[in-house]
Amino acid sequence: MLLDPSILALLIVSSMVSLMMSMAAVFGVQVMRHWDIHSGSERQLRLERRTYLISTLVAFSFIAELISLLLYVYNAEQMSGRFVGAMCATGVLNVDPWGWPTLYLKIAIFFAGAAWLTLNRVDNRAPDYPLVRIKYGLLLLILPLVLAESVTQALFFLQMDPDVITSCCGSLFSPEGKGVAAELSGIEPGTAMALLALAGLATLLTGVWYLWRRRGGLAFAVSGLATFLLALVAIVSCIALYIYEHPHHHCPFCILKSGHDFLGYWLYIPLFIATALAMGVGAIAPFARRPSLRQVIPAEGRRFVLLALVFLSLFYLIAGYAIARSSLTMVGVWW
């Protein structure tokens, strides 16, 4: 298994990102201890020069983590034919106990990275770098996630046994099963879609409020995160059923297959981008009153809110298209 090119790529990327983030964290400790923008000492000048290099390394690390997330899901989907009982990525992630934790950690790193990159962007636009200690302090909190993801991913691939009979998505995402996946599958489609519509409306209203008054960045971020979570619930409980045209197939991964026109990618990518942008707005909102950021944050926040609403609208349009084109009709669903 380890000689598979995609697995090797994932392990190499994870190792390189862990190394670069560890280097950045060491530098972050120095910044938090010695940074003084008003000092003209040689140490301060050296720190200022190195911040650009370290910020670039961290940016590349988070971009690599995004690619790693996409490759991880794609690889799990492609490996489903190698394990008895696996019909999609769900079965592969169930091969050993480390599959799902690795996925969750990759998602957490993606969103944490989005928040860090947003902080870094606005900090670099201010002449006095007012957020430098905050962003490097956040980096120290992200590092354990990166190291944990590297370890769990290595364990996942190392403990893979091709002779294991794994469980398919039908047994996991089933109202008759046990666990969180079964509970999500058992939610009434009408309820899930109503909650998704309300969350989308809340995100739209808080976004418009921010664009108008340049306030409410945290409310927009919370609404965006709630919409993301409810969108995942709606995909499992309802939207996937329309894509499969089957009233009992709830898997959130089979929609990534070519047989369904890769519609899952068109759903997930705009949703993840919109949520990342919303969380970025929330990350910079508390610092809007700092003197050197009073002009920077409103301008950047406005740009991120507009982009987030565009990508979120794209998600809703694609979800609506998937439902409208389906020949499935479910009795009791209000639309």
User: What is the rounded CA–CA span in Å between residue 145 and residue 239?
Assistant: 31
pLDDT at residue 60, as a whole number: 92
Largest CA distance in the chain: 73
- CA distance readout (Å), 16 to 26, 50, 58, 98: 16, 19, 11, 20
User: What is the rounded CA–CA span in Å between residue 237 and residue 188?
Assistant: 7
Give yes or no: residues 126 and 275 share one domain.
no
pLDDT at residue 334, as a whole number: 45
Give yes or no: residues 156 and 228 share one domain.
no
- CA distance readout (Å), 155 to 98, 121, 177: 7, 35, 27
Give yes or no: residues 64 and 176 share one domain.
no
Contact of 185 with 250, CB cutoff 8 Å: yes
Tell which residue, 254, 278, 274, 270, has the closest CA to residue 321. 270
Q: What own/partner pairs with CB < 8 Å and gap ≥ 24 does 40-45 have?
A: none
Give yes or no: residues 145 and 187 share one domain.
no
Domain end position, chosen among 165, 193, 216? 165
pLDDT at residue 38, as a whole number: 78
Domain end position, chosen among 98, 132, 165? 165
Contact of 190 with 332, CB cutoff 8 Å: yes
User: What is the rounded CA–CA span in Å between residue 93 and residue 64?
Assistant: 21
* The two three-digit tokens of residue 120, written as one number: 């870094």
Contact of 292 with 255, CB cutoff 8 Å: no
Give yes or no: residues 226 and 295 share one domain.
yes
User: What is the rounded CA–CA span in Å between residue 288 and residue 286?
Assistant: 6
User: What is the rounded CA–CA span in Å between residue 277 and residue 283?
Assistant: 10
Give yes or no: residues 136 and 243 share one domain.
no
Give yes or no: residues 187 and 118 share one domain.
no
Residue 202: domain span: 168-335
pLDDT at residue 1, as a whole number: 60
Q: Which amino acid is at 284?
A: I
User: What is the rounded CA–CA span in Å between residue 301 and residue 282?
Assistant: 9
pLDDT at residue 308, as a whole number: 97
Give yes or no: residues 178 and 218 share one domain.
yes
pLDDT at residue 2, as a whole number: 60
Give yes or no: residues 104 and 173 share one domain.
no
Give yes or no: residues 4 and 131 share one domain.
yes
Number of structural domains the chain divides into: 2
pLDDT at residue 33, as a whole number: 87
Give yes or no: residues 172 and 83 share one domain.
no
What average pLDDT values come out for the chain (335 residues) when binned by 10 residues? 79 94 92 83 85 90 92 87 76 88 95 94 90 92 95 92 72 68 78 94 96 91 96 92 86 85 92 96 93 92 96 96 85 47
Give yes or no: residues 144 and 177 share one domain.
no
Domain end position, chosen among 131, 147, 165? 165
